[in-house]
Structure 1
Amino acid sequence: MGHLYIADDNEEFADYLATVAIREGWTVTICSNGVKLLEKLRSDDGAAFALVDINMPEMNGIEVIDDIVDINRPLRIRFITGGSDVTLLAAKMIASARSLSVGRSIFKPVTLDAFRKLLAEEEQELASLRSRTQTS
């Protein structure tokens, strides 16, 4: 399985997602804000999936996009929020315009079955990214 980075300032929610992901075979890193996410993404390597909350302190999900572009590793991103879908749409459009690999947005709360399905989808996407990176 792949490496999942969860960037969310809601500690209980992040722990829930991490527990599910670990049970599904993922390696998980939890970051409480965008600054910590970027630090971890830069210090690690290999293909990864980042689940990024839009509303976080210090550096939110939209602010993270510009710095993620400079990270040289296969990376998939999905944005998540418990708030407005307008912000999610903006984040997805900005990230896509910068040629980032972005999946469908997610709304809180996320059910167990929906999150398991999302993880399975992302594992397939990461496998595709890995093979494209190896052939390049």
Structure 2
Amino acid sequence: MIKILLAEDDQVMREYLTRALERSGYGVSAVDRGTAALPLLENEQFDLLLTDIVMPEMDGIELAQRAADIAPDMRVMFITGFAAVTLKAGKQVPQARVLSKPFHLRDLVLEVDRMFEVESVPSRN
């Protein structure tokens, strides 16, 4: 099972995202801020860090940068409602995907599915 670490400070959004991803067969550990994600990253293995960018204590970009040191193979997807922050994320963590709010939960699941379906398709080279 693909394991996702979700960092989202908005409780309602965190619960919606967790439910949608779990219904789609993903394992989800959810925290309300970046600083709460770090101990989990150090003690568990995750396939994807799904993080809001704008959060108290530690923003999602800093979290992703710290996560890259702990788990360099983990993929990253940012969720944000701020266009300017999207540009900053793209420059500082270029390998990450960015999903802009508002989005439909179906779109989130499709994006996550796309990130991992590449692994199941054999290379044609």
TM-score, with length taken from structure 1 = 0.79
CA offsets 1:55-96 (integer angstroms, 9 cap, x no match): 1111111222331221135211011112x2111221122112
1:102 alignment partner in structure 2: 96
Amino acid at match of 1:106: L
Report the Cα offset of residue 29 of structure 1: 0.6
The answer to whether the 8 A contact 1:49-1:122 is kept is no
Amino acid at match of 2:90: K
Amino acid at match of 2:96: V
Structure-2 change in CA distance of 1:39 and 1:108 (3 Å): same
For the residue of structure 1 that corresponds to 2:103, the secondary structure is: coil
1:2 alignment partner in structure 2: 2
TM-score, with length taken from structure 2 = 0.85
C-alpha separation between the residues in 1 aligned to 2:90 and 2:39? 21
Please list every run of 5 or more consecutive structure 2 residues that lacks an aligned counterpart in the other structure.
121-125
CA offsets 1:75-125 (integer angstroms, 9 cap, x no match): 11011112x2111221122112xxxx412x112222132122112112225
Amino acid at match of 1:110: F
Please list every run of 5 or more consecutive structure 1 residues that lacks an aligned counterpart in the other structure.
129-136
Amino acid at match of 2:103: V
C-alpha separation between the residues in 2 aligned to 1:21 and 1:44? 19
TM superposition outliers: structure 1 runs of 4+ over 6 Å = none
Match of 1:117 among 107, 110, 118: 110
The answer to whether the 8 A contact 2:68-2:74 is kept is no
C-alpha separation between the residues in 2 aligned to 1:59 and 1:51? 14
**Count, aligned residues:** 120
C-alpha separation between the residues in 2 aligned to 1:59 and 1:75? 19
For the residue of structure 1 that corresponds to 2:70, the secondary structure is: coil
